[in-house]
């Protein structure tokens, strides 16, 4: 398990992953709810329109990307993968291949996953909700990176975990019975499913790092749509090649 490194500046709190920091070429960040001026703190929700959220986004760009706008796709719980040069697109994963192309995804229970190809020095950030995992957006992002999976590392960020993720049997309708093996006592372990998809794609187990953080348990630090009954914000998981 990789460690999350806590940072704070001007009241804003965020984390980075030590395993990615050590690469030396990939800036990475996971924001929290602390430090912003929106209704829900450092909320970065897309299309919110709230003045405080827009100010939070401006502040995020200053903190993480040297003032460059951070590309955020229109997330639709699908399997489309975009690159940071395509604006206004519907996608749930973004691949970056050049320096100074900051990109991120927004979550509040879904799995945020970062993939980094250590040989080609390219990366992807993935929004993997339950449907995205069921449809294997992780494999789609790995294929779009077009490198050898054995040269990649992956990080799974804060998300709702099996301790809290209660689901109904009908979530497996439509041909997803395979995922019932990740269900125990009515709770779905979506992070374990994602890890198995990563290894099935060819990543070594030793190259997969899980934060282990449950957003539903840690609403003091992160947002949880389920625990907060929808009245909450979104935190960002972002990347930029230096």
Mean predicted confidence (pLDDT) in 134-154? 97
Q: Phi and psi dihedrals of 229, rounded to 5?
A: 55, 40
For the four alpha carbons of 40, 45, 47 and 51, in that order, the dihedral sign comes to positive
What are the structural domain ranges in the chain? 4-241
**Is pLDDT above 60 for 2?**
no
Q: Which helix (H) or strand (E) holds 11?
A: none
- pLDDT tens per residue across span 148-175: 999 999 999 999 999 999 999 999 999 9
- pLDDT tens per residue across span 209-240: 999 999 999 999 999 999 999 999 999 999 99
29: which 2 tokens?
A: 């960040």
pTM beyond cutoff 0.75:
yes
Q: Is 235 exposed, middle or buried (0-12, 13-18, 19+ CB in 10 A)?
A: buried
Q: What CATH number does the domain located at 4-241 have?
A: 3.60.140.10
Distances (CA, A) of 220 to 34, 179, 224, 228: 9, 30, 10, 11
């Amino acid at each position: 398990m990789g460690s999350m490194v806590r940072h704070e500046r001007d009241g804003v709190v965020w984390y980075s992953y030590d395993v990615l920091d050590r690469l030396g070429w990939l800036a990475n960040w996971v924001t929290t709810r602390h430090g912003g001026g929106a209704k829900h703190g450092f909320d970065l929700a897309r299309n919110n329109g709230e003045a405080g959220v827009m100010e939070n986004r401006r502040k995020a760009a200053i903190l993480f990307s040297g003032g460059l706008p951070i590309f955020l796709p229109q997330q639709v719980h699908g399997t489309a993968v975009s690159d940071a040069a395509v604006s206004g697109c519907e996608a749930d994963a973004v691949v970056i291949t050049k320096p100074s192309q900051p990109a991120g995804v927004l979550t509040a229970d879904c799995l945020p996953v970062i993939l980094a190809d250590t040989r080609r020095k390219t990366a992807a950030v993935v929004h993997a909700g339950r449907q995205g995992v069921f449809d294997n957006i992780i494999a789609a992002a790995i294929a779009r990176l077009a490198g050898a999976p054995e040269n990649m590392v992956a990080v799974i960020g804060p998300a709702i975990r099996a301790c809290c993720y209660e689901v109904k049997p009908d979530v497996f309708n439509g041909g997803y019975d395979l995922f019932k093996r990740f269900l125990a006592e009515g709770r779905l372990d979506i992070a374990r499913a994602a890890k198995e998809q990563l290894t099935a794609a060819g990543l070594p187990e030793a190259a997969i790092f899980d934060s282990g953080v449950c957003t539903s348990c840690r609403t003091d630090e992160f947002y949880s749509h389920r625990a907060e009954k929808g009245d909450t914000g979104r935190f960002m998981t972002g990347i930029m090649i230096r």
